[in-house]
């Protein structure tokens, strides 16, 4: 069992009017693929749709159908879901102050209408539509002349109404003014079977856009390739198609059964339909609705993909759209209808209003943030002033006490400083017990320290009165007549300067032992008696 796409492709080939069909093998291989072309960034940007423009255009149509072009915001809110919008209608209208204005009546009902600039633009569009009525009638007549029976269903024609530039009331505005050209019929008596029929064939209108361009160039009518010259293979295929058979006008009343001629006529028909539209583009799905009227094939997209030099097929927004390449230069539409120009003005006015709304909103947000920042800085300044006043309220005594406590808690050498103070107190007490004939402590202590090999920076932290305590607390251990452990010889001048001991004297006669005894008493008497040998001076170690 064949897949659906392959089955439809096969049915298209079997039902082809050509008895000897020659399908393109490349197209046949892509039967199951997604139909698309190489992306053209310029034409893709031309196909971009502005959703805001579409919504505002629908709101404009609502106001045009309202009495005095004024309606309530409440009624617009009820239609918001049909416009595929969410939120509040009032907020949407406020975003476009250049397009819409809002006012309230005496009962408190909120209304909206056109702004002055928008009102002038709407009036300009209406005047252009009135002036373009003959062009609209001519365009509609050419479209009817392309059909087989010279008639088109009115419901189907509504799908191409916007693309052709026809107003909503074109039946009353255009058809009623040209009774010699059009007629409204209903052969089956149903509501949706109303048809618009062409009464008179006009030979002057039976001239296609390709033939008009050929007359201006002074050449035979032929299609024009709008692709760059670098597309060599595609241009070769196009030249083969263009020169294989002569150009067949889509207005021709002769319908050939040959495959090549039938394809050329179909390509010319699609080319002419796109030339009649305002933006030179149309939805492929909508064109397929006119398959019977215009004699289009079952798979129209396959036909269009075979001719990339003439058409560009895009799947943007998941909608297959065909664009006439020769109608654009890059992303710019070459031939702009007056209705297209006035619609572009409407888009510019809408964007201007949106920019104005965004600018005001940004300024309001900046002002709000500035006020918040000023309040924050004010509070911060008040806190700083309060802290300064508290610091100034402290007197000098409290400042000194606070400073002393801070340094005492923060300095890592606080414990050492406390220990040094305790040592100074102990030295002061021991010196008080000494006799008055003792020589004072002098620089001989430092000479002994240097002799013992001690570092000068270690003793620089001690005052001269602390040198004796440093020796007694175990920095060095001295023995008379011997070399100490540091390698220094004990000078007799230093030992005699104290007048305490000499060679063969007892250690207990030295006043240093008194200090040691006092220290030992303070420490709980944990010192051993073996440390006091005769003939030795022992520096006690705690």
Q: DSSP letters along 419-477, please?
A: HHHHHHHHHHHHHHHS-TTSPPP-THHHHHHHHTT--HHHHTTS-GGGHHHHIIIII--
Per the structure, how many domains does the chain have?
Answer: 4
| Average pLDDT of the residues in 157-175 | 87
Domain extent at residue 350: 51-117+346-360
pLDDT at 519 over 70: no
Please report whether residue 109 resides in a domain.
yes
Cα-based angle 257, 258, 263 (whole degrees, multiple of 5): 100
Range name among 235-239, 380-384, 503-507 with the lowest pLDDT average: 503-507
- Report helix, strand or coil for 113: strand
Do 284 and 351 belong together in one domain? no
Is the same domain home to 215 and 182? Answer: no
Whether the Cβ atoms of residue 360 and residue 101 lie closer than 8 Å to each other: no
What pLDDT, on a 0 to 100 scale, did the predictor assign at position 221? 84
237 with 313, same domain: the answer is: yes
Tokens found for residue 278: 């305002």
SS3 category, 328: strand
**Residue 532: is its pLDDT beyond 70?**
no
Domain boundary among 206, 222, 244: 206
The answer to whether residues 425 and 356 belong to one domain is no
Residue 449 CA to residue 468 CA, distance in Å, equals 10
> Are 182 and 133 a contacting pair, CB within 8 Å?
no
Place of tokens 């006669």: 509
Could you give the residue ranges of the DSSP H alpha helices within 295-443?
Answer: 300-305, 338-393, 396-410, 414-433
Q: Are 106 and 58 part of one and the same domain?
A: yes
Higher pLDDT residue, 132 or 239?
A: 132
**For position 274, what pLDDT does the model report?**
92
Specify the pLDDT at position 461: 45
pLDDT at 398 over 70: no
Three-state SS at 329: strand
Instruction: Tell me if 218 is assigned to some domain.
Output: yes
Beta-bridge partners for 104: 110
| Same-domain pairing of 198 and 214 | no
For the range 439-448, what are the long-range contacts, defined as Cβ-Cβ under 8 Å and sequence gap of 24 or more?
A: 439/497, 439/498, 439/499, 441/465, 441/467, 441/468, 442/497, 444/493, 444/494, 444/497, 445/471, 445/494, 447/491, 447/494, 448/490, 448/491, 448/494
Domain boundary among 206, 232, 267: 206
d(CA 542, CA 534): 21
**190-222 CB burial, b ≥16 within 10 A, e <16:** eeeebbbbbeeeeeeebebbbbebbeeeeeebb
Rounded to 5°, angle at Cα 447 from 444 and 450:
155
pLDDT-derived band at 406, boundaries 50, 70, 90: low
Both 328 and 354 in a single domain?
no
Query: What is the band of 404 on the pLDDT scale with cuts at 50, 70, 90?
Result: low
**Tokens describing residue 422:** 């305790």
- Report pLDDT for 375: 59
Least confident of 106-115, 213-222, 379-388: 379-388
Backbone angles phi, psi at 295, to 5 degrees: 70, 40
Whether 122 is covered by a domain: the verdict is: no
Torsion of CA 75, 76, 78, 79, to 10 degrees: 130
Q: What is the pLDDT of residue 220?
A: 84
Whether 68 and 141 share a structural domain? no
- Per-residue pLDDT at 94: 84
Per the domain annotation, does 155 fall within a domain?
yes
**103 phi, psi to nearest 5 deg:** -150, 165
The percent of residues in the chain predicted with pLDDT above 90, rounded, is: 3
Tokens of 83: 């416009």
Q: In the prediction, which pLDDT does 384 show?
A: 62
222 lies in the same domain as 200? no
Report in angstroms the alpha-carbon separations of 352 from 53, 121, 327, 345: 12, 14, 28, 10
State the residue for tokens 């230093």.
Answer: 494
Per-residue pLDDT band at 455 (split at 50, 70, 90):
very low
What pLDDT, on a 0 to 100 scale, did the predictor assign at position 485? 38
**441, pLDDT greater than 50:** no
Q: Is residue 5 part of a domain?
A: no
Q: What is the C-alpha separation between 86 and 249, in angstroms, rounded?
A: 49
pTM of the model: 0.59
| Predicted local distance difference test score (pLDDT) of residue 503 | 42
| 225 plus 294 within the same structural domain | yes
245 pLDDT tier (thresholds 50, 70, 90) = confident
pLDDT of residue 140: 92
Q: Is the model more confident about 513 or about 94?
A: 94
Least confident stretch, 157-161, 333-337, 521-525? 521-525
pLDDT score of 170? 87
Query: Does the residue 405 lie in any domain?
Result: no
Asked if residue 2 belongs to a domain, the reply is no
Per-residue pLDDT band at 218 (split at 50, 70, 90)? confident
Q: Contact 267/245 with Cβ under 8 angstroms?
A: no
Residue-level length of the chain: 542
Sign, CA dihedral 363-368-369-370, equals positive
Tens-place pLDDT, residues 299-334: 888 888 888 888 888 888 777 888 888 888 888 888
317 neighbors 379 (Cβ within 8 angstroms)? no
pLDDT of 444 > 80? The answer is no
Listed ranges 62-66, 352-356, 481-485; the one with the highest mean pLDDT = 62-66
Q: Domain ends where: 294, 325, 360?
A: 360
Where does the pLDDT of residue 294 fall: very low under 50, low under 70, confident under 90, or very high at 90 and above?
A: confident
What CA–CA distance (Å, rounded) separates 215 from 213? 5
Reported as a pLDDT band with limits 50, 70 and 90, residue 429 is low
Give the SS3 label for residue 147. Answer: coil
- 367 domain residue, yes or no: no
Tell me the sheet residues that pair with 72. 111
Calculate the average pLDDT of the chain: 71
The upper half-sphere exposure of residue 199, i.e. CA atoms within 13 Å in the direction of its Cβ, equals 10
For residues 196 and 227, membership in a common domain is answered with no
86 and 184 assigned to the same domain? no
Question: Taking 80 as the threshold, does the pLDDT of residue 64 lie above it?
Answer: yes
Q: What's the average model confidence in pLDDT over 495-516?
A: 41
pLDDT tens per residue across span 124-165: 988 998 898 899 999 999 999 988 888 898 888 888 888 888
CATH number for 107 = 3.30.420
């Amino acid at each position: 069992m064949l897949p659906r796409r392959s089955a439809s492709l096969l049915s298209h080939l079997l039902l082809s009017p050509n008895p000897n069909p020659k399908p393109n093998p490349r197209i046949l291989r892509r039967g199951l693929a997604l139909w698309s072309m190489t992306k053209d960034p310029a034409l893709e940007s031309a196909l971009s749709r502005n959703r805001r423009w579409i919504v505002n255009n629908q709101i404009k149509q609502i106001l045009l159908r309202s009495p005095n072009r004024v309606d309530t915001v409440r009624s617009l809110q009820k239609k918001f879901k049909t416009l595929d919008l969410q939120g509040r209608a009032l907020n949407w209208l406020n975003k476009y102050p250049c397009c819409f204005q809002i006012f309230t009546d005496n009962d408190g009902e909120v209304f909206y209408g056109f702004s002055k600039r928008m009102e002038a633009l709407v009036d300009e569009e209406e005047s252009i539509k009135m002036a373009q009525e003959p062009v609209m009638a001519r365009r509609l007549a050419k479209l009817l002349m392309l059909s087989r029976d010279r008639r088109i269903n009115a419901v189907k024609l509504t799908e191409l109404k916007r693309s052709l530039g026809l107003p909503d009331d074109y039946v009353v505005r255009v058809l009623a003014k040209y009774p010699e050209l059009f007629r409204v019929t209903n052969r089956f008596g149903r509501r949706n079977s109303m048809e618009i029929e062409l009464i008179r064939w006009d030979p002057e209108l039976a001239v296609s856009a390709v033939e008009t361009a050929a007359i201006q160039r002074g050449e035979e009518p032929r299609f024009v390739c709008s692709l760059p010259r670098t597309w060599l293979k595609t241009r070769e295929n196009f030249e083969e198609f263009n020169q294989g058979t002569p150009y067949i006008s889509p207005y021709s009343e002769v319908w050939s059964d040959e495959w090549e001629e039938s394809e050329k006529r179909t390509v010319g028909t699609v080319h002419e339909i796109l030339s009649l539209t305002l933006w030179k583009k149309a939805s492929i799905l909508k064109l397929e609705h006119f398959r019977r009227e215009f004699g289009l094939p079952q798979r129209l997209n396959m036909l269009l993909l075979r001719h990339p030099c003439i058409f560009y097929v895009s799947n943007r927004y998941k909608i297959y759209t065909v664009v006439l390449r020769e109608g654009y230069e890059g992303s710019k539409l070459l031939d702009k209808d007056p209705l297209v120009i006035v619609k572009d003005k409407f888009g510019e006015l809408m964007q201007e209003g949106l920019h104005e709304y965004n600018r005001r909103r940004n300024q309001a947000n900046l002002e709000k943030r500035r006020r918040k920042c000023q309040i924050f800085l004010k509070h911060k300044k008040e806190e700083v002033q309060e802290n300064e006043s508290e610091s100034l309220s402290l007197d000098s005594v409290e400042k000194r006490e606070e400073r002393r406590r801070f340094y005492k808690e923060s300095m890592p050498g606080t414990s050492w400083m406390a220990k040094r103070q305790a040592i100074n107190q102990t030295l002061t007490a021991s010196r008080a017990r000494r006799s008055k004939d003792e020589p004072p402590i002098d620089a001989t202590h430092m000479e002994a320290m240097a002799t013992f090999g001690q570092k000068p920076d270690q003793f620089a932290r001690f005052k001269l009165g602390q040198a004796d305590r440093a020796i007694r607390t175990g920095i060095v251990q001295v023995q008379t007549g011997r070399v100490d452990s540091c390698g220094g010889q004990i000078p007799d001048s230093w030992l005699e300067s104290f007048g305490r001991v000499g060679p063969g004297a007892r250690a207990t006669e030295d006043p240093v032992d008194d200090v040691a005894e006092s220290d030992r008493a303070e420490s709980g008497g944990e010192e051993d008696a073996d440390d006091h040998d005769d003939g030795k001076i022992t520096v006690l170690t705690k």
